[in-house]
Amino acid sequence: MFYLVFLFHLDSRFRGNDSIYTWRLGERQNSMSRKEKPMKRSCLIKCALFIFFIAVSSYGQTEMENWPGFRGPFARGIAENSSPPAIWNIEDGDNILWKIEVPGLGFSSPVIWEDRIFLTTAISGLEDPELKVGLYGSVDPVEDETIHTWKVFCYNKKNGDLVWEKTACTGIPKVKRHPKSTHANPTVATNGKYVVAFFGSEGLYCYDLKGNLIWKKDLGILDSGFFIAPEAQWGFASSPVIYKDRVIVQCDVQENSFIAVFDINSGEEIWRKSRDEVPTWSTPTIHTFEGNTQIIVNGYKHIGGYDFENGMEIWKMSGGGDIPVPTPVVAHDLIFINSAHGKLSPVYAIKLSARGDISLNENTTSNQYVVWSIRKGGSYILTPLIYGEYLYNCRTNGSLRCFEAKTGKQVYKKSLKSAFSASAVAAGNKIYFSSENGKIFVIQSGPDFKLLAVNDLQDICMATPAISGNVIYFRAQNFLVAIGE
């Protein structure tokens, strides 16, 4: 906008009378011939236009390279106009731009704004805190009552240097965690002015980009765990979302579940709505359709959409997996909801125009607002990826199914033969699936399955990666690494 104002100002100067030239540039300028003045005017305007377009181009490029929250812009998991490498070698250093150690345990994802990366962690008082990944069914939480430290890090995107670190809080965790979880699961969100970190029962924190604490909120005990066994505390995981100077949090817990919106500048609560819901771990999604913005949430009892401005319920449905984790994703004017565990593991494709209770009747797969669905085959933990015309749905056991996004027709089914918790991301017609044992499967997008490469991070990988420019950033258990050519 500054450059547009500058151009109009410049042009008005050259359209002025001779006295302006005399006052600004001296008597010699006023004596220029009428032929000379347009020539100089033209040259200066061309220069200004050149500067303007360079600035606009740079701004656009910067915006495209931002990855402001969980799975990037609007949780889609896609980096447009980017193309990270398909092959690298962590041991030999091939295509490894930098690699740094990260202390503590955290399954939060890296978030990127311009030349900064933001990340969280929780550091236990134990030298080797318990962490167990893989496919197993234990519900018992970790017994660790040592003093923990919750931190927010800011790194330089170009070289991995630490810019600043802040301790959000210290103390004994108010809620226990699952052995396959951490006390720093939620991914931060940023709008380029503020960084918001959520540590569940340990609070919600807002910093500026220099690391100054702007405000913090205590939202009480947020106990997430298996609702059938309340003693099985598993830890909080829903990430905050920033939209139009507001912070949205979804807090589905054992008691008093709610969704709330806060003013990002002050932390003031704008509205809060109670939810009749069991514990879930999904991050909400924001989408605007026909001028109306809604907050879309996953759930078991209450999947649905809320009006962004006032929290009024727009639509809802129930049913599906009883431990919902995947985040809703919007593409092709459809809302894709995924869940698993219990009797059902559905995938729903819902119209953005949905209103009221749209729950499916028993033994039906569609209705006025549900365009298509499958009853079994949805994902327990991973958020689906809609890339181009296709929906890629990977389950925790590595079963990958590809559907036509608009119709639900299955295109292929393959097994990646590994355990997965991190959600897929995509760029440059390549899709990256991060397995828990650190094997990164890179497949070609499209209706035919083509495995391009399998790269080994040589560390546990539970966090969804981030993409900026032609670089992909992985957060492993012990390090953060930038991979690019």
Q: Give dist(CA 194, CA 68) in Å, integer.
A: 11
Q: What does the pLDDT average to over 388-403?
A: 97
Query: Are 245 and 264 spatial neighbours (Cβ–Cβ below 8 Å)?
Result: yes
Q: Which region among 2-11, 348-357, 461-470 has the lowest average model confidence (pLDDT)?
A: 2-11
Does the pLDDT at position 368 exceed 50? yes
Q: What does the pLDDT average to over 336-344?
A: 92
- One domain for residues 297 and 181: yes
Spacing of C-alpha 456 from chain mean position: 24
Q: What does the pLDDT average to over 340-369?
A: 95
pTM confidence score? 0.87
- One domain for residues 478 and 364: yes
- One domain for residues 210 and 302: yes
Element (H or E) spanning 257, and its range? strand 257-263
Q: Which region among 9-23, 71-85, 197-211, 370-384 has the lowest average model confidence (pLDDT)?
A: 9-23
Give the per-residue pLDDT at 235.
93
Helices (H) and strands (E) counted in the chain, each on its own, are 4, 33
**Across the strands, what pairs with 246?**
243, 263
Q: What does the pLDDT average to over 255-275?
A: 98
What is the residue whose two structure tokens read 């919007």?
A: 330
Q: What does the pLDDT average to over 348-358?
A: 98
Residue 57 banded pLDDT, cuts 50, 70, 90: very low
Does the pLDDT at position 47 exceed 70? no
Q: Which region among 27-36, 152-161, 427-436, 465-474 has the lowest average model confidence (pLDDT)?
A: 27-36
Residue 343 banded pLDDT, cuts 50, 70, 90: confident
- One domain for residues 121 and 195: yes
What residues contact residue 57 under an 8 Å CB cut-off, 6+ apart?
A: none
Q: What does the pLDDT average to over 407-436?
A: 97
- One domain for residues 118 and 21: no
Give the per-residue pLDDT at 346.
95
Question: Tell me, what DSSP letter sits at residue 78?
Answer: B
Does the pLDDT at position 253 exceed 90? yes
Length of the chain: 485
Q: What does the pLDDT average to over 208-212?
A: 98
Does the pLDDT at position 89 exceed 60? yes
Q: What percent of the chain shows pLDDT beyond 70?
A: 87
- One domain for residues 329 and 415: yes
Q: Which of 43, 59, 75 is the last residue of a domain?
A: 59
Q: What does the pLDDT average to over 49-76?
A: 66
- The CATH number linked to 107 is 2.130.10.10
First CA to last CA distance, the chain: 34
Please tell me the total count of domains within the chain. 2
Could you give the strand order of the β-sheet that contains 329-331, starting from the edge strand earlier in sequence? Answer: 329-331, 334-338, 347-351, 370-374
Q: Which of 24, 40, 59 is the last residue of a domain?
A: 59
Q: By three-state DSSP, how is residue 180 classified?
A: coil
Q: Tens of pLDDT along 302-316?
A: 999 999 999 999 999
- One domain for residues 81 and 55: no
Of the two residues 327 and 230, the one the predictor is more confident about is 327
- One domain for residues 436 and 316: yes
Nearest to 98 by CA among 113, 88, 87, 108: 88
Give the per-residue pLDDT at 478.
97
Give the per-residue pLDDT at 53.
42
Q: By three-state DSSP, how is residue 196 classified?
A: strand
What is the residue whose two structure tokens read 């931060």?
A: 188
Of the two residues 22 and 210, the one the predictor is more confident about is 210
Q: Tens of pLDDT along 236-252?
A: 999 999 999 999 999 99
Phi and psi at residue 467, to the nearest 5°: -130, 135
Q: What does the pLDDT average to over 463-475?
A: 97
**Domain containing residue 441:** 66-483
Of the two residues 307 and 26, the one the predictor is more confident about is 307
- One domain for residues 170 and 312: yes
Structure tokens belonging to residue 480: 């953060």
- One domain for residues 400 and 333: yes
- One domain for residues 289 and 251: yes
Q: Which region among 37-46, 284-293, 398-407 has the lowest average model confidence (pLDDT)?
A: 37-46
Give the per-residue pLDDT at 64.
59
Which of 268-306 are b and which e, b meaning 16 or more Cβ less than 10 Å from the residue's Cβ? eeebebebebbbbbbbbbbbeeeeeebbbbbbbbbbbbb
Give the per-residue pLDDT at 51.
41
- One domain for residues 147 and 250: yes
Residue 58 banded pLDDT, cuts 50, 70, 90: very low
